[in-house]
Structure 1
Amino acid sequence: MDDVQQWTGEKAARLQDAFEMTQEEFAGKLGVSVRSVASWRANPRMVPQAETQRILDTTLRLAGDAVRRRFIHSSRTAAPRPEAEALRVAIAVVRRGGDVLLVCRQDGDDIAWQFPAGIVKPGGSASKVAVRETLDETGVHCTVREHLGERLHPYTRAMCDYFICDFVHGDAVNGDSSENVAVVWAPIGELSRFIPKDRIYPPILDALEATV
C-alpha cells in the first residue's frame, strides 16, 4: 500500500480506529501529544504538519495486514463528518508585564501565531484545560484571572472559551514540537504583527490594553 497522498484529521483518526487504540495509546505509538490526536478527530479537515505526515506514513507502512485492511475498508465506508463536531476549545491569554504569550502553529503549509489552547473533553473544565495546556505547550505556569467569554470561532467553527491568565513562573519553551514551531512572549503593543487585529476576540484586546 502506498503512502497516503496527504493526511488529514479524518484520515489520522481512521488510522487510530484501525489500530483499535485509545487516544493515549495512539499518541504514545506515534510519539505525539494526546491533544494532537484528539484534535485530529475533532477537526477532520485539518492538515498535520510535514513531520507528522511522515510519522503517519511510516506508521501505516509498518502496520500489520489486519490494520491496513481495516484502514482501507474505513476509507471506502466512512460517512462525511459534520464540520466542528461538538468541538470546544479553551484559550489562555497569558500576560507577563507588557507581554502576552503566543505559540506558532504549522498547519500544512500555513504558519500562524495564536494563544495557547487545548480541547475540552465533554464534562471537562475549560479553565483547567487552559492552564494545563499552557504548561504542556510552553512550560509556563499560569493562573486564570477572568473568563472573558465564549464564541463560535469564525474560522475554525469551534466553540471557544477565552481566559485572561496571569503568569506565575517558568521559561517559555516549545513543549509540543509535533504541532508548534515556536513560542514567544510578544509585546502587547505589537500583537497585531503576529495576529491580525480583526481575528482577535474583542474582549481580549480590551483586557490586554488595560494592562499596557
Structure 2
Amino acid sequence: MDVIDTWTGRTACALQSALRMTNDGFADHLGVAVRTVAGWHSSPDIVPRTEIQSALDTAYERASASVQRRFSLLTRPSPAAIEAQALRVAIAVVLRGDDVLLVCRRGDGELHWQFPAGMVKPGADPATVAVQETHGETGVHCRVREQLGERVHPVTGVVASYYLADHLAGDATNRDPLENVDVAWAPRSSLTRFIPEQSIYPPILEALA
C-alpha cells in the first residue's frame, strides 16, 4: 500500500476515481461538502486542511486492495514527472527581526504567498541562488545563516532546498511583476494566515518558533 505524505486536490481526485464515486458520493464518504470535492477538481494543487487529510488517509486505508491498486496506477508518475524530480529550487526564509519575507505569486488563476525561490541550474550553489533570487525578486539583500533541509516537494515534485537567512539591507519591493503580484514582510507569528500550516516545511516552523 502506498503512503501519502500530503494529499492534494490531484491525489484526492485520484482516490475518488479509484473508488468510482461521484462528487456527491465522495463528499458523503469523506464527510465534507460537495463544493470541497469540486474545488479539488478545479484546483488540483490545493492542499486540504489537516482534518480532511486525516479523512482521506482513513478512506484510502479502508479501501479494498483493488481500489488501492487503481489509485497507485492513477498516481504513478509519468516520465516527464520523474524527470522533473531532477530539477532543484532554492528557497530563502529571510528574517528581519520578528518578520519573514514573502512573495505573492500568480498561477492557476489564484494568488499564492510563498518564500522567495529560484531554480538551481546544474553546477550552481543552491545557497547562492537563494540569495541572488531573493534580491532579484524583492530587492532585499540577505545572508544565509543555515540550511534547514531538503525534500522532494509534495506538489511540484522538484527537489527543494530550504535556507534560513538574515536581512542585511534593502526595502521589500516587487521587482518581478510578471510573476509576482506583491512582496511583504509578514509577522512570523502570523505566517499561517498567508501560507496554510500543512503546506509549510516543518523545519521552517521550528526555526520560526
1:82 is matched with which residue? 80
AA matched with 2:130? A
1:123 is matched with which residue? 123
* Structure 2: stretches of 5+ with no match in the other structure: 1-44, 46-77
Cα distance, 1:110 vs structure 2: 1.6
Percent sequence identity over matched residues? 59
Deviations 1:78-106 (A, max 9, x none): xx861225210000000000000000001
Cα distance, 1:202 vs structure 2: 0.6
AA matched with 1:163? Y
Deviations 1:28-57 (A, max 9, x none): xxxxxxxxxxxxxxxxxx9xxxxxxxxxxx
CA distance in 2, matches of 1:172, 1:136: 11
Equivalent residues in 2 for 1:158-169, closer than 5 Å: 158-169=158-169
Which 4+ runs in 1 deviate beyond 3 A?
none
CA distance in 1, matches of 2:108, 2:206: 32
* Structure 1: stretches of 5+ with no match in the other structure: 1-45, 47-79
CA distance in 2, matches of 1:81, 1:135: 34
2:54 is matched with which residue? none
What's the TM-score, normalizing by structure 1? 0.60
- The alignment partner of 1:191 has SS state of helix
AA matched with 2:107? D
1:137 aligns with 2:137: yes
Equivalent residues in 2 for 1:35-184, closer than 5 Å: 82-83=80-81, 84-184=84-184
- The alignment partner of 2:176 has SS state of coil
The Cα RMSD (Å) is 1.4
Cα distance, 1:108 vs structure 2: 3.0
Deviations 1:124-153 (A, max 9, x none): 100000000000000000000000110001
AA matched with 1:158? V
2:186 is matched with which residue? 186
CA distance in 2, matches of 1:201, 1:170: 26
CA distance in 2, matches of 1:154, 1:81: 17
1:202 is matched with which residue? 202
CA distance in 2, matches of 1:198, 1:179: 24
